[in-house]
Structure 1
Amino acid sequence: MLPIESVESGTLSTLLIYTICLGILILIGIIIRLKVKIFTKFIIPASLIAGFIGLIIGPHGLKLLPTSMYDTWSGYATILISIVFAPMLIGITVNFKRIKETQAIPQLVFSWTSSFLQWGIPLIITALFLTPVFGIDPLFGTLVEVGWSGGHGTAGGMIEVYENLNYSDGGSLGLTTATVGLLIGIIGGTILINYAVRKGYTNYIGIKDTITDSTSATMGLIPKSEQKSSSVKTVQSEVVEGYAFHVAIISIAIFIGWILQTIIEPFVPGMPLFPLALIGGFIVGVILKRTTLWEAVDVGTFRNIQGTALDFLVVSAVATISIPIVLEYFWPLLIMSIVVLFCMFGFFFYIGPRIFAKDWFEHSIILLGTSTGVAAVGYMLLRMADPKMESDAYVAYGLRSPFSSPFAGGGLVTASIPIFTVSFGALPVGIACIVVMILIFVVCKIFGLYGRHNNSYFNRE
């Protein structure tokens, strides 16, 4: 074991050293990400690589780092996820005309219904089969949407939720599910695109195009000549540093979230802080728009802070996965993953062509990548299917995000489903999710969003 074991436990120095070690892991992950081509090709995040390195050298692997460090890291996720969510709704503007033009509404329908599918099917399977056969907790059925649509960041943030609901295994299993979903999104999505090209479903690449070339974008270091500022200076330095100003706003949002959590705790036990911090951020944003301080708000700075928190969250969460727990749940995880995989691919081919009037494959593939992995996977798959970004899929994805990301795929509803499951049972909640999914499609049918369209899927030779 490394000499870091000698650091006195329970001190601020301990917290500093342990956080420094996370930073070192991230740097190692960055170097590996840039140097190993397979990680670059499939845009595996450096934070995920760093997390797995931490897992390998940790208590369940080579035992190079002390258990006390990992115990500390395991608590980071619940703090950092609140920082990620707090500013999410601050500064967002909505263009309803562009929403209609770019098919953002069908994308929103696809996103919401796929999340309800990932809640409903696993909960029903868990209630009817996995719990009776393997004796697992009904909350196991909530893990797919957390890991697949939510990703590693959400899975890490949900650790607190599962612990509050007396299902401590949920943290490690959620992160494992997120890893499975990421692989399915990358590998399965690439296979789907090759299949779609041969079938003529794609509109911007043909059989003669090389898909591998379109995935070779470096996604690494940006050359000096192409570097752009990711935030702007909005406050004079003699007043306060710009990042300190934005961190202060995030702090207020989280504080409001904490007050809301305290108020609703007697009525909704186990409600985590991060979705309430999101509401706190919305409240802060509304207030700021009525003051001169709004001129100093920069969304880019918020995104940088969120990104930093998310990277550290992923590293700490993945590194602290409990391998024994994952092995204990191997067969239920395998069964659940296979069933949901087939459901998602069936959903993709049945629903996609029916709700998108144009470029159904391009719109559907970015959403499939996101609902099984992370947004970066969705972008990667779209770039493969639409190398020059000629479709509106990318724009529609951004326009639909404010109506989806804060709620499903890692937001307020994602955090609430496990609570509903404990309160009402896996089977009723699972059936309710499927019913809601069907109702959404019925409404779409009434308003003309759901029906056969003049696209390559229905008009192939």
Structure 2
Amino acid sequence: MTTWSFLTDFAIAGGLLLAGKLLRVYLPILQRLYLPAAVLAGLLGLTLGPYGVNVLPWSEVYGGNASMLTAMLFSALGLATPLPSPQMVARRAGSLWAFNQIATVSQWLFAAAVGLALSHFIWPELSHGFGLVMSAGFMGGHGTSVVVGDIFAGLGWQDALTLSLSFATAGIFISIIVGMIILQVALKKGWVTEFTQFEQMTRTEQRGLIAPPEQKPIMNNTMSSLSVDSFAIHGALILAVTASAYHLATYLSSFHDKVQLPTFVVGFLLGMIARVVAKRSGAQAYLCDNVFSHAGGVTTDFLIVFGVSAIKITVLLNYLAPMAILLVCGVCFTLFLVFWVAPRMLGEQWFEKAIFSWGWLTGTVAMGIALLRIIDPKMRGKVLDDFAIAYVPGSIVDIIVISLMPIAMVSGLYLEAFGIGLGYMALVLLLWRTVLSKQ
């Protein structure tokens, strides 16, 4: 593979992304589904790629670009993530943090339990970690799907990547289609008073564009162009953190055959360390968080294009029946979290937080925002602010679960995994009942 092959892969992905956006702009049926352009681009890549009609000149290793982009995504997230104080988390977003922790850990445990049941009683040829491809795709999205797929591949199960990416793609459709049904139920129940129908949106909003008067700059120009372009420094930081994370993870994983430290974990931690160093040295005043956030968005879009395009249809067909069962179980369990757990934990305006969480738990944070905007078009509420505050401490647990659950399932450490998971959930509930719910 040459450097030009690498460039060609990204050029193809870019072309597909442009085509996906054009389809989103001009086809009303796609607008009504609120489908991201990256998902449409990935489906085009899948149709035209080697597992479809095979007319795109992808390189032989184009699917591996998703792993690299995942490491870049988490490195950028680390650089963009300020650490809130425990007092701020408790005061502003304590109940939402507790709900997110219960929802996250319980979805992983539920998926693992369903997968174990299917592999023990119906399809003994299934991997004991089969259920985790659902939670990786639903809650984690395409980025986590790549991580979990790579971990399973290292443990000898190569098909996991295709399955988890398929769940992530299906989750996008499920989040918005079922989410719209949930919103209709909420309107009849009186849980929401405002509901922005598709027809009530401006033509620009329907197309997923921002009208020129409402467009805002995405970064502060923090450095003089006489010395260096501001964006070049931000890009250099992301690349340096990502490359350092790859080499450090490789080095630390070399000490034991069964201990593989995921690059995305190291990237996230190194990004946060770099941010702390920049803050203490005064360099943070010359860095713009919006650039790091948008860099994460860019890598996510291209990651989705590569990930969906690399889904192996033949592998997918071999797992169709157990996947269908797992999918239905996953949707039902997430509905239980939204309709039963959320109103008991989230207090006032529980539904706004719950509908956002539905989009996040089945699709992506972007899908949660899309659903939230339907009932709060001017974004007057504080759901996103509270989620951002609750995300940082919650992300540490996410990373631990993502990294260790596949290893535990494949290694037969079922009781240990469920025991630790249930114990952590009990601790969160105790903290919520005694402290957080009273803030």
Asked whether the two chains share a fold, i.e. TM above 0.5, the reply is yes
Does the alignment pair 1:106 with 2:95? yes
> What do residues 377-405 of structure 1 show as CA deviations (whole Å, max 9, x unaligned)?
11122122333434332322222222234
Does the alignment pair 1:343 with 2:327? no
Does the alignment pair 1:54 with 2:41? no
Q: Is the 8 Å Cα contact of residues 122 and 430 (structure 1) preserved in structure 2? A: no
Q: 1:184-333 counterparts in 2 under 5 A? A: 184-202=174-192, 204-205=193-194, 211-213=197-199, 217-218=205-206, 220-261=208-249, 262-266=251-255, 269-333=259-323
Q: Is the 8 Å Cα contact of residues 96 and 386 (structure 2) preserved in structure 1? A: yes
- Say which of 104, 107, 110 aligns to 1:118: 107
Does the alignment pair 1:137 with 2:133? no
- Displacement of 1:214: 6.1
The unaligned stretches of length 5 or more in structure 2 are none
Q: Distance in 2 between matches of 1:419 and 1:215?
A: 47
Q: Distance in 1 between matches of 2:290 and 2:120?
A: 45
Q: Is the 8 Å Cα contact of residues 86 and 250 (structure 1) preserved in structure 2? A: yes
Q: Distance in 2 between matches of 1:301 and 1:96?
A: 26
- Displacement of 1:215: 6.6
Relative distance call for 1:387 and 1:345 in structure 2 (3 A) is same
TM-score of the two chains, using structure 1 as the length reference:
0.87
> What do residues 114-164 of structure 1 show as CA deviations (whole Å, max 9, x unaligned)?
111221112112223334421201121211221011112322344322221
Q: Distance in 2 between matches of 1:370 and 1:438?
A: 23
What is aligned with 2:425? 437
Q: Distance in 1 between matches of 2:9 and 2:240?
A: 26
Relative distance call for 1:280 and 1:324 in structure 2 (3 A) is same
Does the alignment pair 1:357 with 2:350? no
Q: Is the 8 Å Cα contact of residues 146 and 155 (structure 1) preserved in structure 2? A: yes
> What do residues 311-335 of structure 1 show as CA deviations (whole Å, max 9, x unaligned)?
1111011001000111111111111
- Say which of 1, 7, 11 aligns to 1:20: 11
Q: What residue identity is the alignment partner of 2:361?
A: S
Does the alignment pair 1:149 with 2:104? no
- Displacement of 1:96: 6.4
SS in 2 for 1:139: coil
What is aligned with 1:454? none
Does the alignment pair 1:36 with 2:24? no
What is aligned with 1:82? 71
> What do residues 20-59 of structure 1 show as CA deviations (whole Å, max 9, x unaligned)?
1111111111111111122223321111111100100112
Does the alignment pair 1:417 with 2:408? no
- Displacement of 1:353: 1.2
Relative distance call for 1:424 and 1:335 in structure 2 (3 A) is same
Q: What residue identity is the alignment partner of 1:225?
A: P
Does the alignment pair 1:368 with 2:326? no
Q: Distance in 1 between matches of 2:34 and 2:400?
A: 28
What is aligned with 1:398? 388
Relative distance call for 1:71 and 1:131 in structure 2 (3 A) is farther
Q: Distance in 2 between matches of 1:407 and 1:439?
A: 13
What is aligned with 1:379? 369
Does the alignment pair 1:446 with 2:415? no
Higher helix share: 2
> What do residues 89-113 of structure 1 show as CA deviations (whole Å, max 9, x unaligned)?
33544376764555x2211112121
What is aligned with 1:458? none
- Displacement of 1:429: 2.3
Q: Distance in 2 between matches of 1:283 and 1:296?
A: 17
Q: What residue identity is the alignment partner of 1:299?
A: D
Q: Distance in 2 between matches of 1:232 and 1:62?
A: 45
- Displacement of 1:169: 0.5
Q: Is the 8 Å Cα contact of residues 6 and 59 (structure 2) preserved in structure 1? A: no
Q: What residue identity is the alignment partner of 1:183?
A: F
Q: What residue identity is the alignment partner of 1:187?
A: I
Relative distance call for 1:214 and 1:400 in structure 2 (3 A) is farther
Q: Is the 8 Å Cα contact of residues 77 and 159 (structure 1) preserved in structure 2? A: no
Q: Distance in 1 between matches of 2:214 and 2:190?
A: 36
- Displacement of 1:218: 2.7
Q: Distance in 1 between matches of 2:56 and 2:383?
A: 45
Q: Distance in 1 between matches of 2:209 and 2:35?
A: 14
Q: What residue identity is the alignment partner of 1:396?
A: D
> What do residues 257-276 of structure 1 show as CA deviations (whole Å, max 9, x unaligned)?
23542225535623210111
Q: Distance in 1 between matches of 2:278 and 2:378?
A: 38
Does the alignment pair 1:172 with 2:162? yes
Relative distance call for 1:36 and 1:101 in structure 2 (3 A) is farther
TM-score of the two chains, using structure 2 as the length reference:
0.91
Percent identity, aligned pairs only, is: 26
- Displacement of 1:427: 5.5
Q: Distance in 2 between matches of 1:43 and 1:83?
A: 26
Higher mean alpha-carbon deviation, 57-66 vs 251-260, is at 251-260
The unaligned stretches of length 5 or more in structure 1 are 1-9, 451-461
Q: What residue identity is the alignment partner of 2:45?
A: G
Q: Distance in 1 between matches of 2:208 and 2:334?
A: 30
- Displacement of 1:230: 0.5
